[in-house]
Chain A
Amino acid sequence: MPLQFYLLLAAALFCIGIYGLVMSRNAVRVLMSIELMLNAVNLNLIAFSNFLDRQDIHGQVFTIFVITVAAAEAAVGLAIILSIYRNRDTIDMEAFNLLKW
């Protein structure tokens, strides 16, 4: 299994995340898509760490940080969604277009 396969898988996951990020109408699914993208990044980091940096494994350290930050981000994100939901009674992304032209 060469490095490219991992990278391609990560890229595919990232693209699926983008698709979900842009297309989802549910705000929670948007957060989930972001999680997908972050996991794609983690896959990249682990793959690079395994294939190119076996000694110091910087990539794995980075991954730990990313997972940590992602957790925090998801918490804040969910909090934001919750507060929007309290005001507007919906988490439909199409309804959040008040700041237009």
Chain B
Amino acid sequence: MDQAIFQVSLHTVLWIPLYTLFGGIASVLWSPACFRRTGPRPAGYLNLLVASLGFTHSLLALGAIWGQPAQQVSFTWLQVADLQLLLPLEYSSQSIGAIAVITGLNILAQLYAVGYLETDWGWARFFASLSLFESGMCALALCNSLFFSYVILEILTLGTYLLIGIWFNQSLVVTGARDAFLTKRVGDLILLMAVVALWPLAGTWHYGELAEWAAQAEVAPHTLTLVGLALMAGPLGKCAQFPLHLWLDEAMEGPLPASILRNAVVVGTGAWVLIKVQPVIALSPIASAAVIGVGAITAIGATLIAIAQIDLKRTLSYSVSAYMGLVFIAIGSGNSQAALVLMLTYTLSMALLVMSTGTLIWSNITQDLTQMGGLWSRRPISGLCFLVGGAGLVGLPPLGGFWSLLTLMDSLWMRHPILVGVVLGVNSLTAFSLMRVFFRVFLGQPGPMTVRSPEVLWPMVLPMTVLGGVVLHLPFLLHRAAIVPALSVVTSPFALLLIWSCLMGGGLAGVIYGRHWAQQPVRLFWPALQDFFAQDLYTAQIYRGTIIWVVQQASRLIDWCDRYFVDGLVNGVGFTTLLSGQALRYNNTGFGQFYILTILIGLSLLMLLVTYPILS
């Protein structure tokens, strides 16, 4: 009987994206324009119910597939001429595990949103967008075809636009949503070039067949390099990597419960696709090096930027870019397994961090670090959850981040020893950044905005503590699943290095911000450098000065050409006709004698023409 339930839930796992999608569509009914008398809350409860259903379903399916070989299912989407578009799905412990994480985090984020959006009327739009995301991500996890992954990525890009733009009466929200859409869209479009270019090369978009093709592909290296770079460009925008990272900063203007999902999961969708196409990228050393390079630069740059932020949400959003950079490093060096483990541990920890900072923002209004302080004694749960999330993110044993970073360093050491240094540096800097936030927010004297700071409602505390428990239990789960090395590696040099880098970074932050040995607010010996990082390397100005300027000038030029040259040409024809009509009418002088003269001249010319052969 139990087995039957497991098997049925495995075979129907495809329904999860569908009913989450229908849950989202149904919640639109409670938008203020539709059901006017009930209020928006049922939309949230309905979605919560659907997400719970999805989570239960995915857990049952995970129980059925655990330890079993992956199953392939395939549907025909479209058949035209000699092109058959198949929608292949893969039911594996990896994909269904990902669905479990997505739906689980969705339940938590939606319950959190029930508390956070207490005084907001836009639940229908919010929960509909959130469910669109949940559905898209579940579909992405199941989908085993590059083409349909691209389709879903584009839908998610639209979802990002809608979700960031929830409170569209704020001008920064509108610009942020615009930037998020366009930046991710650019990456997606370059990914589309790669998707289209792969078809004549490999003849398939199925990930498994692509990997088989890649194992014995004989294609010109330049082609492979270009395809690899284009494949990287999509996830590059999705994962907020340099130089397409500004959107994530501006996406922090959106509602916070959505940021939980975005920081934790949505940015991971790009990395998920990149992991799937890793065999193709591995064909080209240049593309692999580019993935590693982008990841390394982002990881270091974004952590440095995170340290220089004063906005609570933005200190975390740059850490998101940094950890996605580490995932890029793992993928570029061919360690997909390490990348997946890193994504899992990072996702849970980052969601916990965003949740805990969200509770602070909800009851303290400000997001400015410099306005906060001294919350530890009054907000112990949020503080503990922040500490647990931070410890789970950086390489501090025994939590998850330690094991994933250790796996990553182990796999990097043989071929890319420098990258081990990068990982250690990023780990140390992230520890510094998180401890800086912790000391500024929780310790010290209460700031003007945190003099009175009550703990928040249970719907926000409950998911936060539950997720804290999950982060704490994650090492057990990882070891039970035998995904990470055994406990004995704790004494390996890498483990010690990791612990030391955490302690160094965190300790330094403690020294600077905890003991107040440095002048507060801290000024660097070189203020220009501090401003450089605080302003996000002046990325907005760089965008404006380069690509936006070029596109703007080009569009102005084209507009001018269209307005004056093309239109003018066509208008010129009409104008000439008009003018010639106006001018030629003066032929009709009104003098009868002139008409006679015209007749005579015409006759003479005609006579001349007729008799010309005879005369000459």
Contact = CB atoms under 8 A, between A and B. Distances in A.
A6 B589 CA distance: 37
A37 B564 CA distance: 58
B600 A101 contact: no
A93 B600 contact: no
Contacts of A22: 593, 596-597, 600
A100 interface: yes
B592 interface: yes
Nearest to B600: A18
A94 interface: yes
Contact of A100 (B588, B593, B596): B588
A101 B591 contact: no
A21 B596 contact: yes
A100 B585 CA distance: 9
A14 B375 CA distance: 120
A30 B586 CA distance: 24
A93 B588 contact: no
Interface in B558-616: 585-586, 588-593, 596-597, 600
A99 B590 contact: yes
A101 B593 contact: no
B591 A96 contact: yes
A21 B588 contact: no
Contacts, number: 31
A96 B586 CA distance: 16
Interface in A1-59: 18, 21-24, 30
A30 B592 CA distance: 11
A93 B592 contact: yes
A87 interface: no
Nearest to A93: B593
Given A21-B596, A22-B596, A101-B585, A94 B590 contact: no
B518 to A, nearest CB: 92
B502 to A, nearest CB: 95
A101 B596 contact: no
B600 A97 contact: no
A65 B591 CA distance: 30
Contacts of A21: 593, 596
Contacts of A24: 593
A25 B585 CA distance: 24
A29 to B, nearest CB: 11
A7 to B, nearest CB: 16
Interface of B: 585-586, 588-593, 596-597, 600
11 contacts: A18-B600, A22-B596, A22-B597, A24-B593, A93-B592, A94-B591, A96-B591, A99-B588, A100-B589, A101-B586, A101-B590
7 shortest interchain CB distances as A-B pairs: A100-B590, A97-B590, A101-B585, A101-B588, A22-B597, A97-B591, A22-B593
Given A22-B597, A30-B593, A93-B591, 19 more contacts: A18-B600, A21-B593, A22-B593, A22-B596, A24-B593, A93-B593, A94-B591, A96-B591, A97-B589, A97-B590, A97-B591, A99-B588, A99-B590, A100-B589, A100-B590, A100-B591, A101-B585, A101-B586, A101-B590
